[in-house]
Structure 1
């Protein structure tokens, strides 16, 4: 069964900028490619195939980071699935102008399957799975056997699965999901994220036995440039 092709939906005129797609030669895009390389070489024991992107709190850029990372991994030739696992405040469907009538939640509830709910973007190696309808029990769904089964199915179809998760300090969802992933990256925003919150987020991820690969500094202005840059590392 084939995946759906991208079909633009009039859900909103709000769209986060996919800089690696719209401006691939920019300093920001180059930094995303550097982060991609750092992730690939972050472990020597096993390949990173499931990656969770999170932050300590809202508004720090985790969803934009997840979307751009998924895009650069796909540009490298990997077949990538970007999953909106933020069942509290999903935004990935806005980023790619997709409908959110089906997605991760409908798959976990056995109301649809991966081929029905995921969409191929621009005939590329990137596929996007929206959140789907917001459920009343996100934490229970993330910790369910259905989530384990979904990850297993997704890894049979894709080289890499990237999860955009809720912020760590807001709900327990991220800690539950991090335990199921090969690696986690924490996004912090320059002059916005409080140091204490970043440390608390790191501690909570470590306590949940997450494999924290590093931290991405977001919205750090580069001297004498109109661009922002990002970098990763513990």
Structure 2
């Protein structure tokens, strides 16, 4: 799913990141499929529109979203260097400057080490103003992945994506504890209401079902509900 960078919700997240002067950002979630990649891509686009040199880094080895159009990964003196390149976002047909998931096991092992990951982020900062990292879910801890907890601890800030109506409260608490143990700077949460529409969305849906009303009245009612400030604050 592609989230337009012009959405007011994306603008609010962007302004919070500006307020915290966040130069490297980790985006994660409790479980897979909560919308991390979509948010990372939308924020990358928003920062580019603001004039920042922005790099999208895909460290979600379980569900990668970037495909390299050109790849230049080299290993010198037994040390791996993860380079950026033009990358293709498969599900929305966009091209960005990014870092696809590492394919070399030596690179994965290195990036699992917080010290090495911090050094790599510093290298990226030599060329870019903003680094946005699409990480795996906090619950996905295995030998073939780069723990999101470690990534979060190496970044200036972290955003948690929560799938409303799906993520359990106990799971969220465990995820927050894990981030705290890794000294992550949690800036905030973004709630994905894919399965839990807002009240005004439900009202508009019910209005559309009133087929006995003329279209003119239906459209006026829907416009009124959509522009109502109070309903915009109610989930």
Distance 1:181 1:113 in 2: 17
Distance 2:75 2:137 in 1: 22
Distance 1:37 1:106 in 2: 37
Structure 2 residue aligned with 1:37 = 15
Q: Give the TM-score normalised by structure 2.
A: 0.70
Asked whether the equivalents of residues 14 and 43 of structure 2 are also in contact (C-alpha less than 8 Å), the reply is: yes
Q: 2:86 aligns with which of 115, 119, 124?
A: 119
Cα offset for 1:71? 1.1
| SS of alignment partner, residue 192 of structure 2 | strand
Q: Give the TM-score normalised by structure 1.
A: 0.70
Larger radius of gyration: 2
CA pair 113-217 structure 1, distance change in 2 beyond 3 A:
closer
Structure 2 residue aligned with 1:64 = 38
Task: Please give the root-mean-square deviation of Cα atoms over the aligned residues, in Å.
Answer: 3.3
Q: 1:143 aligns with which of 113, 116, 120?
A: 113
CA pair 208-76 structure 1, distance change in 2 beyond 3 A:
same
Structure 2 residue aligned with 1:9 = none
Residues 1:17 and 2:2 are matched in the alignment: yes
CA pair 182-144 structure 1, distance change in 2 beyond 3 A:
closer
Residues 1:91 and 2:60 are matched in the alignment: no
Structure 2 residue aligned with 1:5 = none
Q: 1:179 aligns with which of 137, 150, 153?
A: 153
| SS of alignment partner, residue 150 of structure 1 | helix
| SS of alignment partner, residue 161 of structure 1 | strand
Asked whether the equivalents of residues 188 and 218 of structure 1 are also in contact (C-alpha less than 8 Å), the reply is: yes
Aligned residues: 192
Cα offset for 1:102? 4.2
| SS of alignment partner, residue 101 of structure 2 | coil
The structure showing larger relative contact order (alpha-carbon pairs under 8 Å, at least 6 residues apart) is: 1
Q: Which stretch has the larger CA shift, 211-220 or 136-145?
A: 136-145
Which one has a larger percent helix, Structure 1 or Structure 2?
2
Cα offset for 1:40? 1.6
Distance 1:179 1:91 in 2: 21
Q: Structure 2 unaligned segments of length 5 or more: list them.
A: 89-93, 206-225, 227-235
Q: 1:221 aligns with which of 197, 209, 233?
A: 197
Residues 1:82 and 2:39 are matched in the alignment: no
Distance 2:17 2:75 in 1: 28
Cα offset for 1:209? 0.5
Distance 2:147 2:74 in 1: 17
Distance 1:84 1:92 in 2: 7
CA pair 200-81 structure 1, distance change in 2 beyond 3 A:
same
| SS of alignment partner, residue 158 of structure 1 | coil
